Chains A and B, each alone.
Chain A
């Protein structure tokens, strides 16, 4: 047993660290200013284009995509370090293409879809979204009511989707719908590739979210999708969707580890500088407990996440592990950021430091892709051998 990443994977993490330090962190003041002005925590198109050009030049696109469509085919263990570094900044950026939809496409596309959707996506030419949640079906996607009914060479989709990120920008949306009501999640759920501008795919509302983010609500009204855009097999959409969710949860755990590391670094910086009542904060036992606790929990989350990634790379069952790290890492980072904000006092309450924005992002991650309580329930259910 050894606890070290391969040399090339360490070098890739170092590369991403430098990229974040030199290209993303310098944009933090602008992102924070926009957020403080109520405009949302975003990058302008010019800023994003410049960063995209840089990350592409460094060879960072398609890190975990297959080699035959232009990716680097890195294993999950290598992606942990990459996402830890990305998590260290409040500048919102993901290296194209976003991994979760990539993994779902990789698991499902046929040759035609590989050429039409996967290849341009890996090359960063397209943006994707996914529609799973509905009003009334979030953590329990099996309660989904959006229906797709076969009509000749087409499928006709009706229903509502909510909390969809990037819906207006996406060139295509992976849309989950029920194709067999009787079977439900077990054999009755299918995935469809819906192109931007398809009639009946109506974005009805932009919903402002905390953390300077936004999601969208979509109404599907006789939305006609060709059969060639059925992703994977009819009725077998649930399992690949879970693959996608696992990838996002691993990413979230890694981002959270990165954010917590940043918060710990900031605590280590500030605690010796700030004196109250004649002694630096670093000599206060409460502060020392925060620091020791942060270090310990970051290490625990890191080891658990790496082990889960390693198991995934070795095709082992990680259903319990994924839920465990998703719940643990998001809660861990939220607490550590909270302690860091407390340590910084009024400065920690400003919208000038990145802490509040990182914490709001993590606040949403305690809900997105399954709330902590659901994941803990999954862990307990699996241990107790309970059926759902």
Chain B
């Protein structure tokens, strides 16, 4: 089975994001970028499936600017086999991403797509679900465990109030939650090997997808500053404060 893993280049999770002065978005100038952590988990899961012999080939896809090639390269160093860079400098919304991925799925014929549940930049949490709908494939979103059982994938999902286990007929789409696995570091010998792995360059037009935006961002603002708390002497004082604030 082939597995397709989309990987997104986002602001590094260690960086404290700052809103641009004109409130049109987050300032990305001279900011360290890295692979979306949920995508790292997706790559790791695919590599583990390959190590178990469930998967023969791991194809990584990134949609974005030329530099997104580096994100693919990181995935190749973790254990991916080859990459496809769909090059565009425009913002690509989740639906357009899902349409491009659908076209790649049709061209490559993977038995499984593993995506991060969301990217830490826009936190849209839409692409995996949209892709499953467009392909008319079963989906297991927010996976915290994935097990192969014949033609069926048993996916444990983190849902409100507990864990739900679903059985999916492959081909299927799985989106990864934080607790699915702990991604490995790309070791130095694997970094060197990744240099030689192929990355194919494409454009959205190659897949006949119109990436014009359907949404417009009205305003991006910093979250409100957290006000300093207040210390109280004892429980009575706490209750009095809460009553005064109308909380109880």
| A interface residues with partner B (beta carbon < 8 Å) | 7-8, 10-12, 14-15, 18-19, 57-60, 63, 72
Contact = CB atoms under 8 A, between A and B. Distances in A.
Interface in B159-194: 185-192, 194
A8 B77 CA distance: 10
Given A8-B191, A11-B77, A59-B187, 14 more contacts: A11-B74, A11-B191, A12-B191, A14-B74, A15-B186, A15-B187, A15-B188, A15-B191, A58-B185, A58-B187, A59-B189, A59-B190, A60-B188, A72-B192
Contact of B187 (A7, A8, A57, A63): A57
Contact of B70 (A7, A18, A19, A58): A7
B74 to A, nearest CB: 7
Interface string B66-84: 0000100110010000000
Contacts of B34: 14
Given A7-B70, A7-B73, A12 B187 contact: no
A187 B188 CA distance: 41
Interface of B: 34, 70, 73-74, 77, 185-192, 194-195
A291 B185 CA distance: 32
A72 B185 contact: no
Per DSSP, are chain A's interface residues mostly helix, strand or loop, or mixed?
A: helix
A58 B188 contact: yes
Contacts of B186: 11, 15
A38 B146 CA distance: 51
11 contacts: A8-B194, A8-B195, A11-B186, A14-B34, A15-B187, A15-B191, A58-B185, A58-B188, A59-B190, A59-B191, A60-B188
A310 B188 CA distance: 21
Given A8-B191, A8-B195, A15 B70 contact: no
Contacts of A59: 187-191
Contacts of A14: 34, 74
Contacts of A72: 188, 192
Contacts of B195: 7-8
Nearest to B32: A14
B10 to A, nearest CB: 15
A10 B34 CA distance: 12
A15 B185 contact: yes
A326 B191 CA distance: 31
A58 B191 CA distance: 10
B244 to A, nearest CB: 26
A72 B187 CA distance: 12
Nearest to B195: A8
Contacts of B185: 15, 18-19, 58
B217 to A, nearest CB: 27
A303 to B, nearest CB: 15
A280 B77 CA distance: 44
A57 B185 CA distance: 10
A226 B195 CA distance: 46
A12 B191 CA distance: 7
Contacts of B189: 59
Contacts of A12: 188, 191
A63 B189 CA distance: 11
A388 B166 CA distance: 80
Contacts of A8: 191-192, 194-195
Contacts of B194: 8, 11
Nearest to B12: A14
A57 B186 CA distance: 11
B32 to A, nearest CB: 9
Contacts of A7: 70, 73, 195
Most buried by A among B73, B186, B190: B186
Minimum-distance CB pairs A-B, first 9: A59-B188, A59-B187, A59-B189, A58-B187, A11-B191, A18-B185, A8-B191, A8-B195, A15-B185
Nearest to A59: B188
A20 B73 CA distance: 22
Nearest to A74: B188
B35 to A, nearest CB: 10
B68 to A, nearest CB: 12
B23 to A, nearest CB: 20
Contacts of A63: 188
A11 B73 contact: yes
Nearest to A9: B191
Nearest to A22: B185
Nearest to A60: B188
Nearest to B184: A58
Contacts of B187: 15, 57-59
A12 B189 CA distance: 10
